[in-house]
Amino acid sequence: MNSSRRDFIRKATATGAAIIAAPAVFGSEELAKRRRSAEPVVPFKLKYAPSLGMFREHAGTDPVDNIKFCYDQGFRAMFDNGFPKRPVDEQDKIANEMQKLGMLLGPYVLYADFSVTSFVLNKPEVREMLINKMKEGVEVVKRTGAKWALMVPGRYDEKLHRDFQTANVIDNLRYCCEIAEPEGLTIVLEPLNTLRNHPGLFLTGIPQAYSICRAVNSTSCKIVNDIYHQQITEGNLIPNIEAAWDEIAAFHCGDNPGRNEPYTGEINFKNVFKYIYSRKYEGVICMEHGKSLKGKEGELKLLEAYREADSFEV
């Protein structure tokens, strides 16, 4: 790491604490020792959420060590797309550590099959599958308190008019919400871009997702606005966030092109985050992207990018 980057990281924290530099893998005892010896880092203004394992070069592979490391760097949220697939005891450890530290766990993926038509169809077998998925999500909520479940409505049906498909998506989501709402589980629908990553999907834009959530009319049906996907699909990021605000429950982010950390592409993250902060947003912004550099240097560059993006004036 060059001297200018070291200087930036020191200046980005009011306490002047440096980023923890540790071996690629070390045990919980060593991590705790390093944490006790370091001055606290000023928390970020917003709840940016690294994925579990995003800082494995510094924190190792243990999920709890990763959570502690991220907390020490000022993060107050995490996300894990594959959370429901982890062993139950590991889910419990993750949830307990995050609750102890007062951190939020962002949306996990409950259903996202990009290969089939599903939500767009009015078929009993589709409805049964979705209801069973919702029951799985409810069990995760009861056990861990993880209350946001991400769902992707699947592929567009070339043989069925789009308006009929929209009506079917709304009806299927209403069935899902009948199970989710009493248990405090919130479905977050993710519109995805079809130009680069996911051709053929039904749900692509924020206005489209907004109209569906309004029609479903449930506190358990909201949007996860992925800034990376929406920069590709439609741009107009801040006005669309503003227009859909009442139906947005979470954000994903990544720069475009490349889908890496802020300031590796074209998005003005400082302005986007400043607007989100101005709305007194208390939810998560999942860092669903890669790193432009490998190894420890890439992890430090990522931290530097988020400190810069979070340095907007309030």
| Residue numbers annotated as active site | 190, 288
Residue 217 above 80 pLDDT?
Answer: yes
How many Cβ atoms are within 10 Å of 195's Cβ, its own excluded? 10
Smallest CA-to-CA distance from 262 within 234, 289, 232 is with 289
Q: What is the pLDDT of residues 148-166, one digit of tens each?
A: 999 999 999 999 999 999 9
The DSSP result for 42-88, as a single string, is: PPPSSEEEPBTTTTHHHH-S-HHHHHHHHHHTT--EEB-TTGGGS-H
Q: What is the pTM of this model?
A: 0.88
pLDDT at 141: 96
Residue 5 above 50 pLDDT?
Answer: no
Could you tell me the domains of the chain? 3-309 (3.20.20.150)
Asked if residue 304 lies in contact with residue 12, where contact means CB atoms within 8 angstroms, the answer is yes
pLDDT at 303: 98
pLDDT at 16: 34
Q: What is the mean pLDDT of residues 22-41?
A: 49
Smallest CA-to-CA distance from 287 within 257, 234, 251 is with 251
The amino acid that residue 5 corresponds to is R
pLDDT at 14: 38
Q: What is the mean pLDDT of residues 20-35?
A: 43
pLDDT at 59: 97
Q: What is the mean pLDDT of residues 174-200?
A: 98
The model's confidence at residue 2, banded by pLDDT at 50, 70 and 90, is very low
CA–CA gap between residue 131 and residue 136 (Å, rounded): 9
Residue 11 above 90 pLDDT?
Answer: no
Smallest CA-to-CA distance from 108 within 74, 85, 126, 128 is with 85
Burial degree of 56 (CB within 10 A; 0-12, 13-18, 19+):
middle
* Largest Cα span, the chain: 63
